[in-house]
Amino acid sequence: MHMTFKTLKQTVLAFAISLALPGMAYSAGGGTTTPVAKPSPEMLCMRQGKVYNKKTKKCEDKKASLDQESIFESGREYANAGQYEEALSIFALAPDQLDARILNMKGFSHRKLGQIEKGMAFYKHSIAVDPTYTLVREYYGEALLQIGDVAAAQNQLNTIKDICQSDNCEPYQQLFAAISNYQTGNQNQPVARW
């Protein structure tokens, strides 16, 4: 391959810039390309089969003594990556098993594993712990749609609107989209997540 001095200079410049600004990708022609998203610490640890400890700011074995927040964040990363059984094993380590967020994510993971009734039980428990937690109401509404109970899903949507005091909060928008997709026959249409 024949490289001109100009091409070599551009390549060296792009390399030098990439070292100085690691969040951006550069082309050999000198122009920037799309910024490269930096993975979260939880995601980096997940790739190693570990969990991120917020206190120590290190990846640790799943059985290590982790705080509630680290367990929640790491378990949620596993669940959002589709590794539901792994997420459940992490949530089981939480010192506070009555944390509405942990209960919600256990419900989410079980539902995604096809265990809808078990997932719904966790959602109901989460709602009992914190009736104003809108995310659990959104996920519970999606589970209700899975069993064909549109009226109950609509009730959850109305409750979310009351809690948010608007129809402009994300859980409302997500459940509204899921109900709309269900009613138009697009049940398999993915609902965007934040």
Residues of the chain with CATH 1.25.40: 119-194
pLDDT at position 36 = 53
pLDDT at position 3 = 45
Which phi and psi (to 5°) does residue 25 adopt? -105, 140
Spatial separation of the C-alpha atoms in residues 174 and 25, rounded to whole Å: 33
Tokens matching residue 80: 């959002």
**pTM to 2 decimal places:** 0.69
Fold of 119-194: 1.25.40
pLDDT in tens, 8-38: 345 443 443 343 334 434 334 444 444 556 7
Residues of the chain with pLDDT under 70: 1-37, 62-65, 187-194
pLDDT at position 48 = 77
pLDDT at position 190 = 47
pLDDT at position 62 = 67
Helices in 40-83 by DSSP H: which ranges? 41-47, 68-80
